[in-house]
Amino acid sequence: MKKIGILTVLLLILTGCGKVDINKAKNEFENKVAKTKSYLLKGSMEIINNDDTYVYSVEASYLKDDYYKVRLINQTNNHEQVILKNTDGVYVVTPSLNKSFKFQSEWPNNSSQSYLLASLLNDIKNDKNSTIEEIDQNYVIKATVNYPNNSELSYEKIYFDKEMNIQKVEVYTKDDILKIKVDIKSLDLKAGLNKDDFKLDDLIDQDCCNTEEEENCEGNTCQNNETEQSGAIEDIIYPLYIPSETYLTSKDVLDTEQGDRVILTYSGSKNFVLVEEKATSANEFEIIPVYGDPLLLNDSVAALQANSLSWTSNNMDYYLAGNDLSGEELLSIATSLTNADIVTSAQVEK
Ranges of each domain in the chain: 18-188, 246-280+306-348
Say how far residue 333 (Cα) sits from the centre of its chain. 17
| 210 backbone dihedrals φ, ψ, rounded to 5° | -85, 75
pLDDT tens digits, 31-71? 999 999 999 999 999 999 888 899 999 999 999 999 999 99
What is the spatial distance between Cα 225 and Cα 177, in angstroms, rounded to a whole number? 44
Which band of pLDDT confidence, cut at 50, 70 and 90, is reported for residue 252? very high
Mean pLDDT, residues 257-276: 94
The whole-model pTM stands at: 0.84
The answer to whether residue 344 scores a pLDDT higher than 90 is no
Range scoring the smallest mean pLDDT among 138-147, 172-181, 252-261: 252-261
Coil vs helix vs strand at 111: coil
The yes-or-no verdict on residue 315 having pLDDT over 60 is yes
The band of 231, judged by pLDDT with boundaries at 50, 70 and 90, is: low
pLDDT band at 15 (very low <50, low <70, confident <90, very high): very low
Residues with Cβ within 8 Å of 331's Cβ and at least 6 positions away in sequence, in order, are: 149, 150, 295, 297, 304, 309
Query: What mean pLDDT, rounded, does the chain reach?
Result: 85
Write out pLDDT tens, residues 197-228: 999 987 774 444 444 444 444 444 444 444 44
Q: Which residues contact 3 (CB under 8 A, 6 or more apart)?
A: none
- Read off the pLDDT band of 235 (50, 70, 90): confident
Cα–Cα distance list, 304 to 148, 157, 192, 296 (Å): 12, 27, 33, 10
Whether the pLDDT of residue 12 is over 80: the answer is: no
State the pLDDT at residue 296: 92
pLDDT interval class at 9 (50, 70, 90): very low
Which pLDDT band holds residue 283 (cuts at 50, 70, 90)?
A: confident
Cα distance between residue 146 and residue 171, in whole Å: 11
CA angle 99, 101, 106 (to 5 degrees): 150
Residues 123-137 pLDDT 10s: 999 999 999 999 888
Which pLDDT does position 350 carry in this prediction? 37
CB 268 within 8 A of CB 308: no
Note the residue count of the chain: 350
Domain 18-188 has CATH 2.50.20.10: yes
